[in-house]
Structure 1
Amino acid sequence: MAKIVLGVGASHSTLMNTHWEETTHKAEAERFRDALHATRDRIAAAAPDVVLILGSNHFRGFWLDLIPAFTLGVGECNSSGESGTPQGPQKVDVDLARHLANELIEGGRFDLAYSARLQIDHGQSHAIQYLLDGLDVPIVPLVVNVFAPPLPTFERCAELAGALRAAIADYPADTQVVVVASGGLSHRLPWPDWRDPHGEDEDFMVQAWLDGRENWSDYDVRRRQIIRAAEAAITPEFDDHILDLFTAGKASELAGYSTSEIEEQAGNGAQELRTWLMMAAMMDYIPAERLAYEAIPEWLTGMGVAVLDPSYSYSP
């Protein structure tokens, strides 16, 4: 049967690619990048047959014409390639992906959307770029809606993770699985609640999310300008608390947070922590090893990396 051999949580930021030279917190940036490289080596050492990537939507493959809470890629997968991230077709373990869909839906474990032609963005491809660099391993992509409210609750995300864990265990092939959660930690993007935009920039964003499916590049220059003009809103105290929960084997406490609590304490970008919670749940909440945390205002984000390794002996 299939076995989950490693879990990884890692922040992402396309500003790593587009504004590295302009980053003034260079030492912090290099430490975070080094942690990604070290994590890539840990993934390689785990010798996975497939990597399940839990990532967020950034209005590149999902638009306001259709926003599922959870979407599993079960066929073709294309990456949008924005801001220097990988572009084009990505190799998917279709057999495992379709097994998961069948077990969850037909098995009555969980109802989620699936796509035989999924487009992902840097919510997934940033992890492919840095954590799977040089590794010839297929993926199974799962996109979680974290930016177009109403959002799935943290508790519901944990429930899906439990269903995925059981479905993986039922897979008949001798398959080693690594689970990667991409996103977080604290940050605030200048993105509105699409249901109640205020001002010209927010109106523009919502219009782009409505109309951008076929021509998102037409909106990208101004969209990028709005993001680059935003001031960083990082809360290291919150990030430390979350990472402490992970290292103590208490990540399940994340399931008790509400969407509004996360927004107030750590910004809308911290809603991506849903993927970290799901990864930890799939690892049965074993203690994590904290590889890095850096608050990098030029990237607007508290950048963290944690690894959950069942074979590793952690000191209390």
Structure 2
Amino acid sequence: MAHLSAVLATTHHPFFYKATELTPIEQQSPTDIEWKRKVLAYRETLTAANPDILVMVGSDHFHQFFHDNYPTFLIGKQPRYDATFYNEVREFSMPTYELEGHEELSGFMLQGLLDRGFDFSVSNELKIDHSIICPIITTRPDADLPVVPIYTNIFAPPLPSARRFYDLGRAIRDIIEEFPTDKKIAAIGSGHLSLELGGPRMFGDHGPDPEWDRKAIDWLATGDVEAILEDVTFESMSKAGNATAGFLDLVLMLGIAGPIDASYVDELDLFHTREMYMTWYPEGDPR
């Protein structure tokens, strides 16, 4: 059976690559330099797990799904995936990628999720956006491992509950461990803490709700599922910022990890938002 070697939950900031890789070091701010230092340290938590396959959880930013047809949960099943979209290259100077897929694990996971009552959509023509490419850049920039992409709806209400996201994570964990292989699989998911997109709190001196950020990081780091299920609703997330529902993907990652303490937790205040980097090792810390 497969080994779940690591679970990573992270925010995804599309300007990281431009700020730290395309900008000469002498022009980088102290915050940019600290940002890269933290990301390089975080990258080591995945490297130490030595995975063979990556299960990647993200969300489509209305690049190919819209309010007229936005799947609640979707899995990609194809040999290769193109990334990124034109506007991400134009606005964020993000590189394009072609990622290898793992059709066997995609198909196995799709059937397992359907058997467990999760009515997944499946795509053979999925294109990947920065919700998955940002974690590739920060944790596996060589992009040398096959991926199984899973997309969730965190943008087009009505949304599934925090309980549904957590339960989906538990199901994904079970299916990974049932996959008939001796390979190591790591799960990486990206989402948001409090976040405002296009609203009046978009570019403030800090994220739109620092208090909510503090609680959210603590919930994840300590595996406090009860607090998440009690306090995380669409209304409470919307109050913290109009895009804060991206936190649901981080709840999903906690579901994959299990209600355990994180092995690695770091964060960075980027003034208008708070970045977070978290890793769990379900089979024990390999470092």
TM range (shorter): 0.7 to 0.9
Distance 1:149 1:109 in 2: 21
Letter in 2 for 1:80: T
Match of 2:110 in 1: 101
Matching of residues 168-247 of structure 1 within 5 Å: 168-190=176-198, 230-232=202-204, 233-247=207-221
- Matched to 2:285, the amino acid is Y
- Give the whole-Å Cα distance in 2 for the aligned partners of 1:27 and 1:292: 17
> Which residue does the alignment assign to 1:165?
173
Identity %: 24
Alignment of 1:254 onto 2:228: yes
Q: Which runs of 5+ in 1 are unaligned?
A: 192-226
Letter in 2 for 1:158: Y
Superposition CA RMSD, Å = 2.5
Aligned counterparts of 2:148 and 2:94: Cα–Cα separation in 1: 18
* CA deviation after TM superposition for structure 1 residue 47, in Å: 1.0
- Contact 1:182–1:275 (CA under 8 A) maintained in structure 2: yes
- Taking a change above 3 Å as real, the CA distance of residues 268 and 251 of structure 1, as seen in their structure-2 partners, is farther
- Name the aligned partner's letter for residue 260 of structure 1: E
Match of 1:269 in 2: 243
Query: Counterparts of 2:245 and 2:149 in 1: how far apart (Å)?
Result: 18
Measured after TM superposition, the shift of residue 249 of structure 1 is 2.6
Q: Distance in 2 between matches of 1:38 and 1:86?
A: 22
Query: 1:242 corresponds to which letter in structure 2?
Result: A
TM-score (norm 1): 0.78
The separation in 1 between residues aligned to 2:216 and 2:179, in whole angstroms, is: 32
What pairs with 1:261-300 in structure 2 (closer than 5 Å)?
Answer: 261-264=236-239, 266-297=240-271, 300=272
Structure 1 residues 3-54: Cα deviation after superposition (integer angstroms, max 9, x where no partner): 2111111111113244566xx9943443333222122222122111111111
- Counterparts in 2 of 1:8 and 1:16: CA distance versus 1, 3 Å: same
Instruction: Report Cα offsets for 1:127-165 as digits up to 9, x if no partner.
Output: 111111125211111111111111121111112112211
Is 1:295–1:301's contact at 8 Å kept on the other side of the alignment?
yes
Q: Determine if contact 2:116/2:171 at 8 Å carries over to the other structure.
A: no
Alignment TM-score, normalising by the size of structure 2: 0.86
Q: What is the aligned residue count? A: 272
Q: Which runs of 4+ in 1 moved over 4 A?
A: 18-21
Between the aligned partners of 2:37 and 2:225, the Cα distance in structure 1 is 24
Work out which of the residue numbers 82, 98, 113 in structure 1 matches 2:121. 113
- CA displacement 1:181-238 (0-9 Å, x = unmatched): 11212111117xxxxxxxxxxxxxxxxxxxxxxxxxxxxxxxxxxx9x9433432222
1:61, distance to aligned residue in structure 2 (A): 2.7
